[in-house]
């Protein structure tokens, strides 16, 4: 019933009226750090949870739904994404509140925006998140982590719109967070998250954030089109070491190549397609398996259809 045909406006006729905005055929390359990817059949920006709930309750029952965050850990294929792509980046999804040691933030807030909240209120504990590109909602899906901490270490709970359009509150345990992964119903749309924080002088928070920033600038590529770490670290091993050891760091596919700063980062040099990047990653997986018998698992999420 749904697909990326020539007339993407056809789907609009089947969708409920909303307070937010619909846009057919929106190029998703504008919303991913790789800068590649085909269009969304229809893109939807909800005004608030009431609007999103109404949409979920009244949409066609078999409509494919995909929620996009900041696109920092995403590879959208060149054919785009069928159905409706939802982006939570309105003012409602960037609100926050602090009650004692509990900080609640909208899922559309960028991780980097936590810096000002923490320093203005003399709280800490979320510095590691500040250094991770992306939005808070996206951090749940991958249990984002670095510098010895993961989201599961600080997450208390969340507000979710479920597949029936109901707004529910869930606990951190309901997400079943593991190493760079989570296990919760696909139809859940996370709209806000609550974290535990701790009293901490702003100067200390800034010091930690600056240390993290300095490390990343020294050891990871920046000012390039990349989606961060491409592969998960196998247990007890490091993906980048396996890539370098097997010579896979020298691979290229058209405009896609391996970063010379950190070889677990794939880079779009400017002319790569999503297909180029995916082929490069798969080529690395095959070579590492051939040379070491170890299978690397993609950390970057691949979505959409080929072209």
Instruction: Write the CATH number for 150.
Output: 3.30.465.10
Question: Are both 251 and 295 inside the same structural domain?
Answer: yes
Q: Where are the alpha helices (DSSP H) in the chain?
A: 49-58, 114-121, 127-130, 136-142, 202-219, 239-245, 274-292
Q: Which of 77-81, 177-181, 192-196, 272-276 has the lowest mean pLDDT?
A: 177-181
| Angle between helix 202-219 and helix 114-121 axes, rounded to 10 deg | 150
Last residue of a domain, one of 67, 87, 107: 87
Number of domains in the chain: 3
In this predicted structure, the answer to whether residue 7 has a pLDDT above a threshold of 70 is: no
Last residue of a domain, one of 204, 230, 248: 204
- Percent of the chain beyond pLDDT 70? 97
Question: Are both 233 and 294 inside the same structural domain?
Answer: yes
Per-residue pLDDT at 89: 92
β-partners of residue 167 are: 161
User: How many other CB atoms are there within 10 angstroms of residue 220's CB atom?
Assistant: 16
Average pLDDT over residues 29-53: 97
- Spell out the residues 6+ positions from residue 118 whose beta carbon is closer than 8 angstroms to its own: 124, 126, 127, 130, 197, 200, 202, 205
In this predicted structure, the answer to whether residue 272 has a pLDDT above a threshold of 80 is: yes
Average pLDDT over residues 76-81: 98
Question: Are both 189 and 117 inside the same structural domain?
Answer: yes
Per-residue pLDDT at 222: 87
Domain range for 27: 8-87
Question: Are both 111 and 198 inside the same structural domain?
Answer: yes
Residue 290: closest CA among 255, 251, 242: 242
What percentage of the chain's residues is helix, strand, coil (to nearest 5)?
35, 30, 40
Residue 1 included in any domain = no
Residue 84: closest CA among 189, 171, 234, 168: 189
Average pLDDT over residues 88-92: 95
Helix, coil or strand: residue 106: strand
Put residue 304 in one of left, alpha, beta given phi > 0 → left and psi -120 to 50 → alpha.
left
Question: Are both 131 and 198 inside the same structural domain?
Answer: yes
Put residue 122 in one of left, alpha, beta given phi > 0 → left and psi -120 to 50 → alpha.
left
Q: Which of the four pLDDT bands, split at 50, 70 and 90, describes residue 15?
A: very high
Q: Which residues are catalytic?
A: 180, 229, 299
């Amino acid at each position: 019933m749904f697909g990326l045909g020539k007339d993407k406006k056809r789907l609009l006729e089947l969708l409920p009226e909303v307070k937010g905005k619909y846009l057919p055929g929106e190029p998703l390359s504008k919303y991913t750090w790789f800068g590649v990817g085909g269009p969304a059949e229809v893109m939807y920006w909800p005004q608030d949870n009431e609007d999103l709930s109404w949409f979920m309750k009244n949409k066609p029952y078999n409509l494919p739904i995909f929620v996009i965050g900041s696109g920092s850990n995403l590879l959208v294929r060149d054919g785009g994404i069928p159905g409706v792509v939802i982006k939570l980046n309105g003012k409602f999804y960037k609100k926050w509140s602090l009650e004692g040691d509990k900080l609640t933030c909208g899922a559309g807030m960028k991780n980097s925006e936590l810096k000002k909240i923490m320093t203005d209120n003399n709280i800490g504990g979320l510095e590691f998140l500040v250094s991770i590109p992306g939005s808070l909602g996206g951090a749940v899906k991958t249990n984002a982590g670095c510098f010895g901490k993961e989201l599961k270490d600080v997450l208390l709970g969340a507000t979710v719109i479920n597949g029936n359009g109901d707004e529910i509150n869930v606990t951190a345990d309901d997400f079943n967070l593991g190493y760079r992964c989570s296990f919760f119903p696909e139809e859940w749309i996370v709209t806000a998250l609550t974290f535990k924080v701790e009293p901490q002088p702003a100067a200390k928070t800034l010091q930690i954030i600056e240390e993290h920033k300095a490390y990343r600038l020294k050891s990871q590529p920046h000012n390039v089109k990349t989606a961060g770490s491409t592969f998960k670290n196998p247990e007890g091993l490091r993906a980048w070491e396996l890539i370098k050891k097997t010579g896979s760091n020298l691979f290229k596919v058209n405009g896609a190549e391996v970063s010379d700063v950190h070889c677990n980062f794939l880079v779009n040099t400017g002319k790569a397609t999503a297909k180029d990047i995916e082929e490069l990653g798969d080529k690395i997986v095959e070579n590492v398996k051939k040379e070491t018998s170890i299978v690397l698992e993609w950390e970057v999420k691949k979505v959409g259809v080929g072209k």
